[in-house]
Amino acid sequence: MPSLSPVLVRQRRKQARPQELLDAALELFVEKGFSATRSEEVAQRAGVSKGTLYLYFPSKEELFKAVVRNNISALIAEGQQIADHFDGPSAQLLRLLMQTWWQRVGDTHAGGIFKIIFAEVRNFPELAQFYTDELILPAHRLISGTLRRGIDRGEFRAVPVDEATHTLIAPMLFQALHKHSIGACAVLGLDMNPTMLIDTQMDLMLHGLQRMPEPTVPQVAKLRYVPT
């Protein structure tokens, strides 16, 4: 097989560099936290100079935003497209969205982003607003839209949609936080099986959401008084 020319190799390397920087940044942010991670460490792990890093991402804040968009925002947008074109039952769609989120985010390095946000974002108000606009609101729209879909189709009973959405999302965030905190340590304690937890959560939630048939009231035969 003919080898690639040096020019082609450099072009391919340059095209791959932003993703390599994002991968390195994600690893370091999750390992050390946002504040403790230095830009030169990210550049070194990606095998480039600090100046090269700033060509793509002018600040550490912009690098973090790009990491979030690359790993989580894109998945939420993908989920919204799936929901917009989904023809099956709403319960099936809801289960698909929750399981995919765990497989693609919660059970990966990207799940560590939530630990960073909860631990450090108070010191970075700009990132707090970015996180709200980029993740919280789109994710809420996706899940609440699925619940409203089920209600409108008569599959789910009428429930407070916003509160039900928080009820679905909160356990998923807890699992991600656990995985990247206590779960990352060699601690003996209660075992957590994320797949089983999601299945159980879906079972409990869907049984609570599903519209039950109206109970039938037995007809009482009327007694006619017949004079003797």
Q: Could you read off the pLDDT of 120-151 as tens digits, one per residue?
A: 999 999 999 999 999 999 999 999 999 999 99
Q: Could you read off the pLDDT of 147-169 as tens digits, one per residue?
A: 999 999 999 999 999 999 999 99
Q: Which residue has the higher pLDDT, 88 or 16?
A: 88
- pTM > 0.75: yes or no: yes
Average pLDDT over every residue of 66-89: 96
Statement: residue 216 has pLDDT above 90: no
Report pLDDT for 3.
53
- pLDDT-based confidence at 12, cuts 50/70/90? very low
- HSE (CB half, 13 Å, CA atoms) of 148? 10
**Where do the domains of the chain lie?**
61-209
DSSP SS3 for 86: coil
Average pLDDT over every residue of 56-73: 96
Say which DSSP state 222 is in. P
Q: Facing residues of 210 across strands? A: 156
Decide: 127 and 186 in contact? Cβ < 8 Å: no
Q: Which fold has domain 61-209?
A: Tetracycline Repressor; domain 2 (1.10.357)
Crossing angle for the helix pair 161-179 and 194-209, to the nearest 10 degrees: 170
Decide: 72 and 111 in contact? Cβ < 8 Å: no
Please state the separation of Cα 26 from the chain's center in Å. 16
Statement: residue 116 has pLDDT above 50: yes
